[in-house]
Amino acid sequence: MSEPYLATDPSVQPSRARNRRRAEKLLADFRRGDPAAITFFRQNHPQGQEPDFQPELIDARIVTVSDTVQAKPLSLETLKKRAKRLLKAWRAGELDAISRAESIFATDRLPMPEHARLADAQFIIARELGLKSWARLKTHLQAMDAAAATLRHPAPIHAADQGTAHIRCGSDIAEALPEAGLKGPFFNFEEIYVCGPLAGGSDPDPGAFLRRRAEYLSSSFPDVPHDPDRDMSVGGVLAALERDRQRIDDLVRMSTSLSLWFEHDAHDQFMLAALLHQLSRDPAAGRLRLQIISPDRFPGVDRFMGLGQLSGNPASLRMLWDQRVTVTAAEITAGAAVWRAACDPDPSALWSVARAASHPLRHMPGALRWHLAQLPHIAHGLSGVEWQMLQVVAGDGPLTPGRIFALHLYEADPLPTLGDLVFFNILDGLIHADRPALEYLSYDPDEPPHRRGSLALTQVGHALLAGDVDWLNLNPVDRWVGGMHVRSGQRNWRWDPMAGPVLR
């Protein structure tokens, strides 16, 4: 069965195979008493400090993929040594080194192991770190050193930047920004537009839309762990949504400039489109300087998912700030158009952007491909995320919900987008359906949701992965993908990985 995505990240499958090989080697090294492997488990596994801890392959899988999302400090000397080790392993014919070379070089330019040079190994290292060349990598390290020096000997913030407010869809960098020397007002513009209805979101009067969103959020996420003070009643959520709108209006009037910290995933890009749509309608926004910080990768993070991964190193955020770019009128117009298209019941306009070779907002096409892949797949009726969940369990199960989430987020999803609350909400739909795709082999209601038991595929789950049944025909489905209402028993927009959205 083909993947339910257009290829947003062609390295997903090689990364999965590479992660499995690393996990198998880590486990083998641990079992033969290798000190480095034992230390790695002790530092990265919750039970690693227990004297009788004996990891299984799934433990090695989890700590291996978790390590790929950790930000690691880089130095030129260390990278030079890494390149020399890679060259030695490549020339020796080691499988992992050859696989890394094959994933970077085009087939007709791949050097034979005996002809590989140090420059080739350095090129692989640079590309794996998300940079085009070894020279670009050295430039990045110099920029990081300059940002760190700025924080050690801070210069006064330019007068034009003193009134800058920072907008982010999340609070993950709120404390780190002042440490990076950026002390303007911070606003967490937080919603979950990648799920639930967006119908009416571009109407001149947003009242009905906000009410619809409040009803959806209240019914879908009635309890917020670790935040008992948050009112998830319809009235409480509606008041919070209205306050957010007003807060943005206030920032437009009170600030001289706005800095928008939005990364590349669908969650952030939808929030960015919604914000640009709101700003496009506010005459006062015309006097603002709008600036954006929008990375899709960062050297030293193998799998970049978001700015929160950099919050432990303020110099990283300062360097990104120093590289910020101005948001142009064309980008505001393009963002507003995307938002209107996202709220439309017809996905044609979204598909035009998703398949475009370029867009004024450079991350938007990939984000919209991810979004459209959440339509029912033409072959089996599952959303892209639902399909990925079943594949994770098929490949590594039985698994607790928390481990399914980790493997999905850190490895399986080509564009990591969902937080745990939304993820577990979707997972519950596969477990508690009339004809479920997943079932608990064991269950303890006293445990927290992420580890209440181990989940395995049902016969329906196996049939779905084989493409023998359709989820919408098996179960009553009623959900939204932006402005598109997906329901069993009616014609729906479906996702065809080759043709895009089709009405069936």
What confidence tens digit (pLDDT) does each residue in 358-367 have? Answer: 999 999 999 9
pTM of the model: 0.91
pLDDT at position 273 is 98
Q: By CB neighbour count within 10 A (0-12 exposed, 13-18 middle, 19+ buried), where does 206 fall? A: middle
> Which CATH number characterizes residue 434's domain?
1.10.10
87 and 43 in a common domain:
no
Pairing of strands 484-487, 478-482: antiparallel
95 and 166 in a common domain:
no
pLDDT > 50? residue 35: yes
> Stretch 287-305: mean pLDDT, rounded?
93
Beta bridge partners of 503: 493
Tell me if residue 358 falls in helix, strand or coil.
coil
Domain count, the chain: 4
255 and 210 in a common domain:
yes
Buried b (16+ CB within 10 A) or exposed e, 330-343: ebbebbbbbbbbbb
pLDDT at position 155 is 64
pLDDT at position 200 is 95
DSSP 336-349: HHHHHHHTSS-THH
330 and 187 in a common domain:
yes
**Taking the CA of residue 119 as centre, how many other CA atoms within 13 Å lie in the half-sphere pointing to its CB?**
3
> Stretch 19-35: mean pLDDT, rounded?
94
Contact between 144 and 323 under an 8 Å Cβ cutoff? The reply is no
Q: Please state the φ and ψ torsions of residue 382, each to the nearest 5 degrees.
A: -85, 155
Of 498, 504, 503, 443, nearest in space to 3 by CA: 498
pLDDT at position 228 is 58
489 and 459 in a common domain:
yes
Contact between 231 and 243 under an 8 Å Cβ cutoff? The reply is no
Percent residues over pLDDT 70 in the chain: 94
pLDDT at position 158 is 56
pLDDT at position 7 is 33
> How many Å apart are CA 395 and CA 230, to the nearest integer?
38
The tens digit of pLDDT for each residue in 258-284 reads 999 999 999 999 999 999 999 999 998
pLDDT at position 12 is 46
Q: Poorest-confidence range of 73-87, 107-121, 461-475?
A: 107-121
The tens digit of pLDDT for each residue in 307-317 reads 999 999 999 99
Confidence bin at 489 (pLDDT 50/70/90)? very high
Q: Does the residue 110 lie in any domain?
A: yes
Confidence bin at 16 (pLDDT 50/70/90)? confident
pLDDT > 80? residue 322: yes
Tell me which residue has tokens 């009788």: 52
Q: Poorest-confidence range of 410-414, 446-450, 491-495?
A: 446-450
* CA distances to 65, 158, 421, 440, 442 from 408, in Å: 10, 43, 14, 18, 21
Tell me which residue has tokens 């008493």: 33
Q: Where are the alpha helices (DSSP H) in 255-328?
A: 266-280, 314-322
Range of the domain at 215: 156-296+324-341
pLDDT at position 264 is 96
pLDDT > 70? residue 189: yes
Q: Does the residue 203 lie in any domain?
A: yes
**Taking the CA of residue 241 as centre, how many other CA atoms within 13 Å lie in the half-sphere pointing to its CB?**
25
Confidence bin at 99 (pLDDT 50/70/90)? confident
39 and 87 in a common domain:
no
Confidence bin at 185 (pLDDT 50/70/90)? very high
pLDDT > 70? residue 159: no
331 and 197 in a common domain:
yes
Q: Does the residue 375 lie in any domain?
A: no
CA gyration radius, the chain = 24
Percent residues over pLDDT 90 in the chain: 82
Q: Does the residue 314 lie in any domain?
A: no
> Stretch 185-209: mean pLDDT, rounded?
94
The tens digit of pLDDT for each residue in 224-271 reads 555 656 788 999 999 999 999 999 999 999 998 999 999 999 999 999
118 and 216 in a common domain:
no
Mean pLDDT of the chain: 91
Q: Does the residue 52 lie in any domain?
A: yes
> Stretch 283-287: mean pLDDT, rounded?
89
54 and 31 in a common domain:
yes
Pairing of strands 289-293, 257-261: parallel
pLDDT > 90? residue 221: no
Q: Does the residue 377 lie in any domain?
A: no
456 and 406 in a common domain:
yes
Sign of the C-alpha dihedral computed for residues 466, 468, 474 and 480 taken in this order: positive
122 and 56 in a common domain:
no
Virtual CA dihedral for 209, 210, 214, 216, nearest 10 degrees?
20
Q: Does the residue 477 lie in any domain?
A: yes
337 and 191 in a common domain:
yes
Q: Does the residue 416 lie in any domain?
A: yes
